[in-house]
A = this chain, B = another copy of it.
Amino acid sequence: MNASAKPERTRLSAEDWEDAALRLIADQGVGALAVEALARQLGVTKGSFYWHFRTREALLQAALERWEQYGEKEIITQIESMPDPLARLPELFRRVAHELAPHRVYAALLKALDHPQVVPVMARVSQRRLEFLTSIYREAGLVPEEALNRARLTYAAYVGFLQLNFTLGLPRISHEEFDAYVEHMIRTLTPG
């Protein structure tokens, strides 16, 4: 009958706080990142927090860097290892379309682009993904300029979809309808 329903750890580490911060950011936004709220959620008080971190700002910074590390290395290497360049884009689209969870933090950070601390992180992550997309389009046969613009278009569509259907709840698209949308997107944005 404790205040928190969490696994009742006895002692906490800095990483525990960072993970909790990322969870909170994922479903309430960075604006909701308050130390006393986090402490309650972890079943401790502020006294604990200020032992691990000098300030709230420091926690946010650490959490963001931790998130940036986890990255998207696996999916990038897996896609790049595919022999047929033309098959990479459809596979990539279907993959990212069907794992919604990892995008929740990204969607939350998208809404915090006024915050000075998240801007550089998002800039780096988005830039890396954009370059990856561009290279895939090049390998699929587009000339450099076309590849870059198509990558911009594709990534913008991804980001916009997150905002419109994830955060905002437009008419709540169904599962089959979503699959049809993804296939339409593949036909429209993929060369060949």
Contact = CB atoms under 8 A, between A and B. Distances in A.
A109 to B, nearest CB: 10
B114 A153 contact: no
Contact of A123 (B28, B156, B157, B170): B170
Given A110-B111, A114-B167, A157-B160, 11 more contacts: A28-B114, A31-B31, A110-B163, A113-B167, A123-B168, A123-B170, A127-B170, A150-B188, A153-B189, A155-B160, A156-B156
Contact of A111 (B114, B158, B185): B114
A170 B113 contact: no
A169 B28 CA distance: 24
A181 B152 CA distance: 8
Contacts of A185: 149, 153
Interface in A3-33: 28-29, 31-32
A102 to B, nearest CB: 17
8 contacts: A29-B114, A123-B168, A123-B170, A153-B184, A156-B156, A156-B158, A156-B159, A160-B161
Interface of A: 28-29, 31-32, 110-114, 119, 122-123, 126-127, 130, 145-146, 149-150, 152-153, 155-161, 163-164, 167-171, 180-181, 184-185, 188-189
